[in-house]
Amino acid sequence: MKSSPKVVGVIGPKGGVGKSTISANLAVALTRAGARVVAMDLDLGSANLHVIFGIKSVPHTLDDFLLNRVPSLAEVVCETSVPGLSLIGGGNVPGIASLPYQRKVKLLRHLGRLDCDYLLLDLAAGVSYNVVDFALIANRSLFVTTPDIPSLMSLYSFIKTAVYRQLYLLFRQAGSDELLALLEKSKNFEENPDLKTMEDFYVQARLIDPRITRQAEKSLARLDPLILVNRVKAGADLNSGKVIKNLMGQFLNLHKGEILSIREDAAVTSAAARMKPVMLTDPSSAFAMDMIKIARFLGAGA
């Protein structure tokens, strides 16, 4: 029996940090390592992944599936010129951009039946639950940031929101109003200095329900983000991802996670002007090399 594809979310709360460029090129890099890939535009509302491939418009989009206008998800999968790589274009129907959590889980269950090795999700900017939920449901999340402080800080806030969302979903499912109330309280740590870190939170949560708290700690300990610092020029930029890792360890009790950097590269701009991924126009460029490194990191060609 075929196994389900590995679902990889490409996330970056700050706009324009390179999510779509990385999604498109990483998708090509994965196919170069022999994998079959479906890249999916989940920037519902301002979808543009197909444009990077020079495809002016896609015959069907995710909307058509979500609104039952096509019989199956396979109908919205569109071939590209790259062997082994298909696309699912994002839709533009207002309202679909905020699917309830269970519909997202259901959507990913359908997507899990697609015949491919990797399913790459190009997600929208922002910290809406729409994005956060996909980050939690994906098997692996790639967090994209540029080396500047505003982008690094917005990524840290995103990770924090994702942690709180995960705890909220877990406590809600367990039906624990007391833990939900404590979680709400801990969001306002200025007024509750005894709940400043996640470790402080766990100490108090264990007093309420040690079993559910242990379950929560275990589920969060599985979060293993890959932080991609994009548009790195040199020197200090190389270390900027560590800021996030330090904050994650100190305040969120998250100790896993890897940082990889992607170089600033003029080849990306010229490829964009030709409406082609740089992996196709300039496969020996620095950016393309960095994509191949990330594809290997994700286990492609292993």
Ligand X SMILES: Nc1ncnc2c1ncn2[C@@H]1O[C@H](COP(=O)(O)OP(=O)(O)OP(=O)(O)O)[C@@H](O)[C@H]1O
Q: Which residues are at the interface with ligand X (CB under 6 A)?
A: 12, 15-21, 43, 125, 230-231, 262, 264-265, 268-269, 272, 287
> Are 20 and 131 a contacting pair, CB within 8 Å?
no
Say whether residue 160 binds Mg ion (CB under 5 A).
no
Q: Which does 269 bind (CB under 5 to 8 A by kind): ligand X, Mg ion, none?
A: ligand X
The answer to whether 14 contacts Mg ion (rule: CB under 5 A) is no
Number of residues that bind Mg ion (CB under 5 A): 2
Toward Mg ion, which CB reaches closer, 41 or 290?
41
CA distance 13 to 237: 19
Q: Which residue has the tokens 């990077």?
A: 52
- For the bound state, the minimum distance from the C-beta of residue 66 to ligand X, rounded and expressed in Å, comes to 20
**CB neighbour list of residue 275: distance below 8 Å, 6 or more residues apart:** 51, 52, 53, 54
Does the footprint of Mg ion cover residue 6 (CB under 5 A)? no
User: What tokens appear for 111 in the block?
Assistant: 């997507």
Helices and strands per DSSP (H, E), number in the chain: 13, 8
According to DSSP, residue 190 is labeled T
What CA–CA distance (Å, rounded) separates 203 from 299?
37
**Residue 47, binding choice from Mg ion, ligand X, none, Cβ under 5 to 8 Å by partner class:** none
19 binds Mg ion (CB under 5 A): yes
Give the separation between CA 155 and CA 134, rounded to whole angstroms: 15
Residue 112: in which H helix or E strand, if any?
Answer: none
Residues sharing a CB contact under 8 Å with residue 54, sequence separation 6 or more, in sequence order: 274, 275, 276
Nearer to ligand X, 90 or 252 (CB): 90
> Considering beta carbons, is residue 5 or 147 the nearer one to ligand X?
147
- Least distance to ligand X, CB of residue 17, Å: 4
Q: Is 20 in the site for Mg ion (CB under 5 A)?
A: yes
Residue (70 or 272) nearer to ligand X, CB: 272
Here the tokens at position 62 are 């995710």
CB of 231 to Mg ion, least distance (A): 14
CB nearer Mg ion, residue 19 or residue 276: 19
Residue closer to ligand X, measured from CB, 19 or 32: 19
> Cβ of residue 184: shortest distance to ligand X, in angstroms?
30
10 binds, among ligand X, Mg ion, none (CB under 5 to 8 A by kind): none
Measured CA to CA, the distance from residue 302 to residue 285 in angstroms comes to: 23
- Enumerate binding residues for Mg ion (CB under 5 A): 19-20
